[in-house]
Amino acid sequence: MLSISLRDIKISLYELGGICRVVSVIFLVPLAFTLYYAMRSGGISMNSLMAFLAPAVIMYLLFIVLSRVDIKDFPPRTKHAMITTSFAWLIIALVGSLPFVISGTLGPLDAFFESMSGWTTTGMTMIERPELVAGDILFYRALTQWVGGIGIIVLALVVLMRKGTVARDYYSSEVGEQRIRPRIENTIKETWKIYSIYTLACISLLYLAGMPFFDSIVHSFSALSTGGFTTRTASIAYYNSPLIEFILMAFMIIGAVGFLIHFKLFNGQIHALFQNIEFRYMIGILTISVAIIMVAFWLNFHGSVVDALRVSLFQSVSGMTCTGFSTTDLGNWPDLPIAVLAMLMYIGGLYGSTAGGIKILRFIVILNVVRYNLKRLILPKSAVLKIKLGGKPMEDEEVFFVLGLSFAYVFVAIVGTFAMMFLGYSLIHSLFLTLSAMGNVGLVNIDGAPWFMMNSMGKIALITLMWIGRLEIFPVLTIFSSVIFRKKG
């Protein structure tokens, strides 16, 4: 069992200091909107300024303190990155709750919920009427998703794409070893460039489609980060525009596609997208899911087939990309389409993307393991079989890792489901909320008023699930297991 020593903690804290410095600057960005709205209203309050200055100062002070930690030139390793990111998301979400509290938007627990939901790109919200919230706060919470989205991509590139993993081996053959990590800094810079270009494109298209400019910024941040925060109580249904829905679906899918694939697309290799096994599976899974949901929706609510297709397509894309936008109230949906959406949220998007879930690549491995065992039952024992991915054999160790993570994901989901049931929710509501929080999706299948009346224990449970899901289970398990089964390291 992996143990965490005092040296490991010191290295992780030192690395955390660098993150705190970057985030301290991010907290100052919404001040531009604060000043803009102050000029329009003719005055500015101290609370409006302190809402963003206070967390910025706190994060910078944390940087000063943590940068003084003596690590004696010990190089950081993978486990240090996992420890650092685990605590980073907690600390950033905690300090990030201050703008909501200081501005008077939310109480402390609801503010922590909102902040964790934003930074983990989940999109569940405790703000019942976004239209009544100040513009700088709405921009801030969209910004947390935009930054959180790029953050998980960087984490995937630095930590999850380490040598020996199924993702690293697959993308080495797809993208090329030299593109993944010649210098990780260059890869991250190129990722920021692509992410920014897509964001500007989305803002422009939404604005041209008739969405107000401020709304275009917020929804572009949310769509590309597969976050789901919106400026409207009715979410995307408020606009009632097929064109806006189409644009958002396109950018939700872009956000759910691994950014190593985007490197190829920006080099003119369009075929790379359709040759990618994860993307092909995504299209296939979405096609089947849309068909099932459309039929169930039409049989239960009638209306035209076109309307049923429009609703089912948008919700399916939103669920699988783990965005959480909606164009309908899921509270009165029958169990079958809700179950399909739950499965989509469990699977999630492509590896190295802003989407959550277990990732399609791992889902493919699980299907291949099932296929392998079926062949074992049918073929003679002398038959030589190997579990393959993209035509290449996989090592047993990596297969066990994928199965172990998937089992851990399901186990945590079961625990979360029982916790929500204990709080009084039905089985289907509890499972849906748990998978939505763990997959960092944000879709909610409870009617508006009861959702906002959720008790404190339910909110704490969902906050924990959002945190665990964003870190993909194992970093959190590493910390807990090292504490419980501590050995001298």
Is 118 strand, coil or helix? Answer: helix
The highest-confidence range among 225-239, 294-308, 348-362, by mean pLDDT, is 225-239
- pLDDT exceeding 70 applies to what percent of the chain? 86
At 169 the pLDDT is 46
Distance of alpha carbon 442 from the chain centroid: 9
Which of 218-222, 264-268, 281-285 bottoms out in mean pLDDT, i.e. has the lowest? 264-268
- pLDDT of amino acid 343: 94
- pLDDT(2) > 70: no
When pLDDT is averaged across residues 459-486 and rounded to a whole number, the result is: 77
Note the pLDDT of residue 112: 97
Q: Give the H/E segment covering residue 92.
A: helix 78-95
| Helix ranges, 225-270 (H) | 242-256, 259-265
Residues 431, 445: contact at Cβ < 8 Å? no
pLDDT in tens, 333-345: 888 999 999 999 9
User: Which of 203-207, 275-279, 448-452 is modeled with the greatest confidence?
Assistant: 203-207
d(CA 45, CA 38): 8
Average pLDDT, the chain: 85
User: In whole angstroms, how large is the CA radius of gyration of the chain?
Assistant: 22
pLDDT (tens digit per residue) in 162-213:
444 444 444 444 344 444 444 556 667 777 888 899 999 999 999 999 999 9
Query: HSE-up of 445 (CA within 13 Å, CB side)?
Result: 27
Q: What is the mean pLDDT of residues 356-373?
A: 88
59's CB contacts (< 8 A; 6+ apart) are 20, 21, 23, 24, 27, 92, 95
DSSP assignments along 15-79, one per residue: HHHHHHHHHHHHTTTTHHHHHHHHHHHT---HHHHHHHHHHHHHHHHHHHHHTT---TTPPP-HH
* Amino acid 167: pLDDT: 45
Structure tokens at 50: 């302190």
Q: Quick one: pLDDT at residue 325?
A: 93
SS (H, E, C) 150-162: HHHHHHHHHHHCC
Give the per-residue pLDDT at 166: 45
- Are 138 and 147 a contacting pair, CB within 8 Å? no
Instruction: Return d(Cα 232, Cα 378) in angstroms, integer.
Output: 55
Render pLDDT for 90-119 as a digit per residue (tens, 0 to 9): 999 999 999 999 999 999 999 999 999 999
Average pLDDT over residues 135-157: 83
Range from 4-18, 96-110, 130-144, 442-456 carrying the lowest mean pLDDT: 4-18
Give the integer Cα–Cα distance in Å for 230 and 40.
23
Q: What pLDDT is stored for residue 260 in this prediction?
A: 79
Say if residue 143's pLDDT is above 50: yes
**pLDDT at position 275:** 87
In this prediction, residue 172 carries a pLDDT of: 42
pLDDT at 360: 92
